[in-house]
């Protein structure tokens, strides 16, 4: 049995870290124009089918190759058509980290309908231990409540925030409109890998 215990990246927030305003005008306009048929098709084919996410729909642009290792990731079909809109937004959101070689292993849109709930959970897969987890609200309403770091939050449209995905978190949309976030992960390719990573991968721990 593998005794290696994956530890979190010490650079990750343990609560909520406000990263500042981001110009989302062009991206938001494009997202609001996505046809329902496209949302349905992308959501049906998404790789992140977790029960805790409830009725939240996703368009996934980039995703990890394995839930055990954040260092391998790939573009999904939707990325090529959205890349020109997404890359400036992603770069602006993470500028404050100052990483010369930052990597985005997971990038997606998440649409929570009015009345939707994301149930309490943690991001338990080992690949979630290291990258920063960042939310950028594209549409929201005052009755969207998110719980991270032991507190309730109401995130503002166009304000990027890093959240603690390793502690219990949940979201409720009690308003009458959709909540759409750009959600992505980010890490420093020049940061040394944690000492536990390779022994953990060799040890065959459960996925």
Closest to 81 measured CA to CA, from 56, 111, 109, 105: 109
Q: What is the pLDDT of residues 167-182, one digit of tens each?
A: 999 999 999 999 999 9
Confidence of residue 3 (pLDDT cuts 50, 70, 90): low
Strands 132-139 and 159-163: antiparallel
Is the pLDDT at 207 greater than 50? The verdict is no
User: What is the pLDDT, as a whole number, of residue 206?
Assistant: 43
Strand partners, 103: 187
pLDDT, tens digit, 9 for 90 and up, residues 94-138: 999 999 999 999 999 999 999 999 999 998 889 999 999 999 999
pLDDT for residue 52 is more than 70 = no
**Per-residue pLDDT, 203:** 73
Model confidence, pTM: 0.93
Residue 54, pLDDT > 90, answer: no
**Residues in CB range of 33: below 8 A, 6 or more apart:** none
Q: For 24-51, how does the pLDDT look when each residue is reduced to its tens digit (9 = 90+)?
A: 999 999 999 999 999 999 999 999 877 6
Residue 55's pLDDT is what? Answer: 83
């Amino acid at each position: 049995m593998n005794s290696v215990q994956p530890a979190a990246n010490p650079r990750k927030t343990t609560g909520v870290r406000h990263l500042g305003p981001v110009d989302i005008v062009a991206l938001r306009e494009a997202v609001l124009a996505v046809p329902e048929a496209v949302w349905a098709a992308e959501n049906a084919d998404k790789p992140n089918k977790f029960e805790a996410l409830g009725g939240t729909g996703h368009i996934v642009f980039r995703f990890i190759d394995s839930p055990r290792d954040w260092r391998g990731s790939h573009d999904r079909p939707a990325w090529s058509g959205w890349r020109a809109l997404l890359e400036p937004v992603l770069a602006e959101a993470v500028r404050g980290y100052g990483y010369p070689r930052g990597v985005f292993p997971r990038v997606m849109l998440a649409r929570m309908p009015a009345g939707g709930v994301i149930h309490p959970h943690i991001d338990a897969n080992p690949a979630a231990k290291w990258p920063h987890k960042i939310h950028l609200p594209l549409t929201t309403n005052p009755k969207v409540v998110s719980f991270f770091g032991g507190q309730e939050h109401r995130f503002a449209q166009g304000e990027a925030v890093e959240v603690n995905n390793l502690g219990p978190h949940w979201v409720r949309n009690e308003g009458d409109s959709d909540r759409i976030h750009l959600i992505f992960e980010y890490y420093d390719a020049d940061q040394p890998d944690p000492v536990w990573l390779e022994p953990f991968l060799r040890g065959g721990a459960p996925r």
